[in-house]
Amino acid sequence: MLKFKPERLSASNRTDRSLLENQLKSAIWYSTQFKSFEWDPSSYNTAGMFDLLLTNEDIEPTKRLRLAYNILKDVPAYYDAAQNNIKTPTKEHTELAVPQLKGATSTLKALSDFRKKHNNGDLSTEEQAEFDKRLDKATDAVDKYSKWLSKKLESKKTEWRSFRIGKPLFDSKFTYDIQSGYSASEIYLKALNEKQELHRKMAGITTQLWKKYFPDIAQPTDDLKAIKMMIDRLSMRHVSRDSLIIAIRQQLPTLVNFIKDKNIVYLDPSKPLEVRETPEYMRGVAGASISSPGVFEKSRPTYYNVTPLDEYTEEQAESYLREYNHYMLQILNIHEAIPGHYIQLIYSNQSPSLVKSIFGNGAMIEGWACYTERMMLEEGYGATEQPEMWLMYYKWNLRIACNTILDYSVHTLDMSKEQALDLLTKEAFQQQTEAAEKWQRCQLTQVQLCSYYTGLTEIYDFRQSQKKKLGSAFNLKAFHEQFLSYGSAPVPEIKKMMEEEQK
Ligand code: ZN
Ligand code: ZN
């Protein structure tokens, strides 16, 4: 029995409570229903944890060394437990686990160097010897687990579980992970409609632009073919490989001015945003990301990480730059920075709630960033470059709609690999490599690919309903600021609180 009435809590506390409740229910569901610990061998890997110890400069090295020393002792038991837990694994997760376990071995090697470098008398001579002994045993344990999995892969008798989780599990996982007002199948149907609608709009723009870019070529009667040609043509406009970071840096003041002029949202000028090269240890996949200050480090600037293309061949760089062409780069900046992730996270940090900061809702965070892309264009951003900008935006938007269709179809409707690749390359205009990676990701994850589209749809629909309800009293800036003021809460919670305050 509850000793208090939840409805009498403040709005912020009520959201916290509902986030915690979802967190607990979800934890129970994961351990009693989803049970990926029985079928996902890649979920057992000590690399991430030791990597954190090796790289976290906020903690003194001697302290980290001591922590590593203590943790190492339990590594063999950990991998034994892993082997015991795995019942019927999926082949795909097993294939992922084996190469990833090499990472576990290399972090153990790095720990050995770390001990030699940082042991300033904190560990005694005996402890140092013991440290090395523990390292050896840990390495053997990783080896043993990895070999056990390899054997399963080699054997023809191994019984595999399908990587497709099926509708009941998918629906529940969607409920817990996304926390949406829509069900998984509702969102799937919305995404299917959106795809048709986007194709229609893209075909319209393509026809409108055709003569400008292809004066000597007749427009193909096949719409999808014509759109693809137009996208390829527009993608040729891009910055040079050395000026990617500079271009991003130069773009930001334009965005800041635009949101001020158009009264889109207040931006606290005391919260700096720094564009920097992605630090070595975070590189891997090329691209851009935002590192926002954590809950306990509010004074640190927000970093906009951009991975330089140094390591790319001419061909790879060209392909990347075409993807992030002149138009797309601006949409990316809106998404990552202004008024996307950077601004949302500033507001989120102002909402003084550890609960929201730690259990922030992914669909709300990504949904907001995706929402701002459309909203900025609607408000007239890039007016001199339209309709080209819209066409590129639609391609971007099509990607998240198709991610949702893919995820749902693969896990609940048995979509084949061939159908999946067709969807991505023919209907979402993706390159073969991008599509192949997406197929891979879809086999290994569930629901996450739906979060962008679900968040966007929910925020956009809510704004439209507010516009309708409030009529001339609707104010975009006020809507945005109130929406963001609750922190990274699930969109249905934010809706409830905003509607209540309007009563
Ligand atoms: Zn080029
Ligand atoms: Zn994002």
Is there a contact between 360 and 487 (Cβ–Cβ < 8 Å)?
yes
Whole-number Å distance, alpha carbon 315 to ligand 1 midpoint, is: 9
Residue 491 corresponds to which amino acid?
Answer: V
Question: Which is it for the CA torsion 331, 333, 336, 341, positive or negative?
Answer: negative
102-122 tens-digit pLDDT: 888 999 999 999 998 887 668
> Which of the pair, 503 or 336, is modelled with greater confidence?
336
State the DSSP string of 108-158. Answer: HHHHHHHHHHH-SSSS-HHHHHHHHHHHHHHHHHHHHHHHHHHHHHH-SS-
Per-residue confidence (pLDDT) for residue 500, from 0 to 100 = 85
Whole-number Å distance, alpha carbon 232 to ligand 1 midpoint, is: 11
Q: Is 44 helix (H, G, I), strand (E, B) or coil?
A: coil
Q: Which ligand is nearest to the CA of 326?
A: 1
Per-residue confidence (pLDDT) for residue 428, from 0 to 100 = 96
Q: What is the mean pLDDT of residues 451-464?
A: 97
Q: What is the mean pLDDT of residues 243-254?
A: 94
CA-to-CA dists, residue 290 to 103, 294, 403, angstroms: 25, 12, 22
Per-residue confidence (pLDDT) for residue 272, from 0 to 100 = 82
> Which of the pair, 436 or 394, is modelled with greater confidence?
394
| pLDDT surpassing 60 at residue 126 | yes
Q: Which ligand is nearest to the CA of 456?
A: 2
State the DSSP string of 337-383. Answer: TSSSHHHHHHHHHHS--HHHHHS--HHHHHHHHHHHHHHHHHTTTTG
Considering only CA atoms, which of 345, 383, 385 is closest in space to residue 365? 345
Q: What is the mean pLDDT of residues 243-253?
A: 94
Q: What is the mean pLDDT of residues 436-442?
A: 91
Whole-number Å distance, alpha carbon 371 to ligand 2 midpoint, is: 11
Q: Which ligand is nearest to the CA of 241?
A: 1
Q: Which ligand is nearest to the CA of 232?
A: 1
How far apart, in Å, do the first and last CA atoms of the chain sit? 30
Whole-number Å distance, alpha carbon 324 to ligand 1 midpoint, is: 11
Q: Which ligand is nearest to the CA of 237?
A: 1
Per-residue confidence (pLDDT) for residue 59, from 0 to 100 = 83
Whole-number Å distance, alpha carbon 289 to ligand 2 midpoint, is: 8
- Which residue has 């082997």 as its token pair? 83
Considering only CA atoms, which of 399, 445, 440, 444 is closest in space to residue 423? 399
Q: Is 302 helix (H, G, I), strand (E, B) or coil?
A: strand
Q: Which ligand is nearest to the CA of 289?
A: 2
- Which residue has 């190492």 as its token pair? 72
Residues 6 or more apart whose CB falls under 8 angstroms from that of 237 comprise 325, 326, 327
**Distance (Å, whole) CA 370 – CA 203:** 22
Q: Which residues have their alpha-adjacent CB atom under 5 A from ion ligand 2?
A: 366, 369
Q: Which ligand is nearest to the CA of 314?
A: 1
394-404 tens-digit pLDDT: 999 999 999 99
> Which of the pair, 168 or 500, is modelled with greater confidence?
168
| pLDDT surpassing 90 at residue 332 | yes
Which strands, in side-by-side order, build the sheet including 273-277? 273-277, 302-306, 288-291
**Distance (Å, whole) CA 41 – CA 30:** 16
Per-residue confidence (pLDDT) for residue 454, from 0 to 100 = 98
**Distance (Å, whole) CA 88 – CA 70:** 32
pLDDT level of residue 57 (50, 70, 90 thresholds): confident
Q: pLDDT averaged over the chain?
A: 92
Whole-number Å distance, alpha carbon 423 to ligand 1 midpoint, is: 26
pLDDT level of residue 288 (50, 70, 90 thresholds): confident
**Distance (Å, whole) CA 366 – CA 282:** 20
77-100 tens-digit pLDDT: 999 999 999 999 999 999 999 999
Of all residues in the chain, what percent are helix, strand and coil, respectively (each to 5)?
70, 5, 25
Whole-number Å distance, alpha carbon 335 to ligand 2 midpoint, is: 6
pLDDT level of residue 431 (50, 70, 90 thresholds): confident
**Of the listed ranges 7-11, 78-82, 172-176, 285-289, the one predicted with least confidence:** 285-289
Per-residue confidence (pLDDT) for residue 140, from 0 to 100 = 97
Is there a contact between 365 and 173 (Cβ–Cβ < 8 Å)?
no
**Distance (Å, whole) CA 300 – CA 273:** 10
Residues 6 or more apart whose CB falls under 8 angstroms from that of 368 comprise 340, 341, 344, 455, 459, 484
Is there a contact between 279 and 305 (Cβ–Cβ < 8 Å)?
yes
Q: What is the mean pLDDT of residues 411-417?
A: 98
349-376 tens-digit pLDDT: 877 778 887 888 999 999 999 999 999 9
**Distance (Å, whole) CA 41 – CA 92:** 10
Q: Which ligand is nearest to the CA of 367?
A: 2
- Which residue has 């061939």 as its token pair? 418
Percent of the chain past pLDDT 90, that is, above it, reads 72
Per-residue confidence (pLDDT) for residue 120, from 0 to 100 = 67
**Distance (Å, whole) CA 204 – CA 195:** 14
Q: Which ligand is nearest to the CA of 344?
A: 2
Per-residue confidence (pLDDT) for residue 432, from 0 to 100 = 84
Whole-number Å distance, alpha carbon 233 to ligand 1 midpoint, is: 10
